[in-house]
Amino acid sequence: YPNAVTVGGHTHTQENLVAGETRKEWAEAGIEKLPNTQIVAGAVSGDWYSGGLNADGLPYSFTQDASEPGVLTLEYDGASRSERYTVRNESDDHQLLLGVNSPQWRDWAQKAQEWQDADKEGEAPEAVSERVVTRDDLKQGDSWLTSSFLAGTSDARVEVSFDGKAPKQSEHTQPGKGEALAKGWEFTDPYTASQNLRTSGSVGQSSSHLWRTEIPSDLDLGTHSAEVTGTDRYGRDFTKTVRFTVVEDEAAAKTESQKLLRKDGFDTQQKKEVRDPKGLDSEEAKSARND
């Protein structure tokens, strides 16, 4: 059955693994290569409706492997098949989640994880924005523009253009070419992980659909842009732009982070006014029944 595909769920995560991929752990278990394409379909509830609330009063529900709540659609034409993932309340073009993974962010992430593991005892470590990076971090390297390409496969392609310059090809963190599972903060999507580390704590530190591109070390202080284009295995292109800020030092990073976090609505001290749902137990429903 050369056109077979296995589709599963239940884990509230998202994977799209192509037939023929290899992984060290699979080989040790006696699986030489993946016999057919395997898709883990995500979930309309994301990570069990976890995390903070967005402006509409709905949980962000980012999954531990950097996906958003949504629906997988499979389309068949004879033996041919294609799939797409549609995020809740978004168009089909919304396929990329972008952030900056820097040494400073990883240091905060580890502290936030330890705070979560300690049942949130004491004050949470002061949050940093995933769109701020210090000049020192850029100079020492290992600062990446990360792209979570929803339902992305190992044969997809991601390119990044910094400030309008020639695009660079991104590195797929889980290429499926015999490597061991790449796990750690350096293989984590900072966009979704930042929200989860401040709320639900659900972060897997790995993702099958994460790409990363090293940020140029010579960027000037100030705001910069990165235009990311993801091309899926069916030739469909998706483009998104993110702006990030280069600051002098950690003190400046804290100031800039607090400003961006408030603007993004991720300030954990901010109280959100959420209207009571008009369900069967609402006053409106009770009044209607009485009438």
pLDDT one-digit tens code per residue, 136-157: 999 999 999 999 999 999 999 9
Pick from 149-158, 174-183, 269-278: least confident = 269-278
pLDDT of 282 over the 70 cut = no
Domain ranges of the chain: 5-266
pLDDT band at 270 (very low <50, low <70, confident <90, very high): very low
- The count of residues in the chain is 291
Specify whether the backbone of 232 is left (phi greater than 0), alpha (psi in -120 to 50) or beta.
beta
pLDDT band at 2 (very low <50, low <70, confident <90, very high): confident
Pick from 12-16, 189-193, 254-258, 280-284: least confident = 280-284
pTM score above 0.75 = yes
Q: Which residues pair with 96 in a beta bridge?
A: 149
End-to-end Cα spacing for the chain = 61
pLDDT of 124 over the 80 cut = yes
Query: What does the pLDDT read at residue 212?
Result: 98
pLDDT band at 266 (very low <50, low <70, confident <90, very high): low
Report the distance separating Cα 87 and Cα 93, nearest Å. Answer: 9
Query: What does the pLDDT read at residue 273?
Result: 44
Mean pLDDT of 259-271: 63
Cβ proximity of 192 and 62 under 8 Å: yes
Mean pLDDT across the chain: 90
SS3 label, residue 211: strand
Question: Nearest to residue 152, comparing CAs of 202, 206, 205, 211?
Answer: 211
Mean pLDDT of 248-252: 87
Specify whether the backbone of 231 is left (phi greater than 0), alpha (psi in -120 to 50) or beta.
beta
Query: What does the pLDDT read at residue 291?
Result: 56
Exposure string of 69-105, with b = 16+ CB inside 10 Å and e = fewer, is bbebeeeeeeeeeebbbbbeeeeeebbbbbbbbbbbb
pLDDT of 111 over the 90 cut = yes
pLDDT digits (tens, 9 = 90+) for 48-81: 999 988 878 889 999 999 999 999 999 999 989 9
Query: What does the pLDDT read at residue 289?
Result: 52
